[in-house]
Amino acid sequence: MLMNGFDNGVLPLLGFAMLALAVVAFVLALVAREDAYRAADKQSKTFWLVILGVTVVVDFFLGMLFLEIAGLVATIVFFVDVRPALKQVSGGGRRSGGSSSDGPYGPYNGGR
């Protein structure tokens, strides 16, 4: 009875979570610029789109546990290693030491 609840409750939730992570990673890889991958010294954009795209297809259609786990590892590597490097190269993230009223040419002083 416990295994039946696990098979019908927990495993589908884990599958949906892995699918959601893969879709988000695929979209983030898609919107990043190609030259950012080269500048960050990472694999190409096409490489990551293929890997993450296959992960989405496997998670959505096939449901083979071994391939889902391999795709989860690739998704985690993208989030932990590739995406922060892309953000750093692309100038993403928060600037240190700046104010929320800073504009592109320095601080806004209210017209004074």
pLDDT tens figures, 23-68: 999 999 999 888 888 888 888 888 999 999 999 998 888 777 788 8
pLDDT band with cut points at 50, 70 and 90 for residue 73 = very high
Q: How far apart are CA 49 and CA 35, in angstroms?
A: 14
pLDDT computed for residue 108 by the predictor: 65
Tokens of 83: 């995406």
- Identify whether the C-beta of residue 89 lies closer than 8 Å to the C-beta of residue 40: yes
CA 78 – CA 65 distance, rounded (Å): 20
| pTM (two decimals) | 0.71
User: Is the distance from CB of 57 to CB of 67 less than 8 angstroms?
Assistant: no
Do residues 26 and 59 touch, judged by C-beta distance below 8 A? no
